[in-house]
Amino acid sequence: MKAVIQRVSKASVTIEGDLVANINSGLLILLGIVEQDTQDDIDWLVNKISNCRIINDDNQVMNRSLIDINGEALVVSQFTLHASTKKGNRPSYIKAAKPDIAIPIYEAFVKQIQSVLSKTVQTGQFGADMKVELLNDGPVTIIMDSKNKE
């Protein structure tokens, strides 16, 4: 499971002109899932993301986590995080999990991070053509991969 985490001042998702998700200060989480992902991957990634100290304290030092500031989160599924660009000019997405596998894992991830944060987590819509708008704060962008936790 891969995630691109962006610290944002605001972020939103629009589908076919309708605003479906909107957050203020917090994290935009782009989430890519492979068939081999399990509950262990969800546990590890939720813990890392919710406790990652990438939010400024009063001294402008990245020393606070999403939990510390009671920040908001927006989770957007993004199979393209598992693109392979080794051959040719057209990326291959063969590593990305198919919807029948990815959707339950995505939903479990959202449910678990909601539980950890004790608040509703905003989401995009799995498989939809989404327009994601954000104001990256910093900018701060972190890439996490549950298969590279050692």
Question: Which residue numbers are catalytic?
Answer: 78-80
Cα–Cα distances (Å) from 48 to 44, 51, 61, 72, 143, in that order, read: 6, 5, 19, 16, 11
Q: Which helix (H) or strand (E) covers residue 131, if one does?
A: strand 130-145
What region does 144 belong to: left with phi over 0, alpha with psi -120 to 50, or beta? beta
What angle separates helix 39-51 from helix 99-117, to the nearest 10 degrees?
40
Measure the CA angle with vertex 80, ends 79 and 81; round to 5°.
90
Cβ(69)–Cβ(116) under 8 Å? no
11/139 Cα distance (integer angstroms) = 13
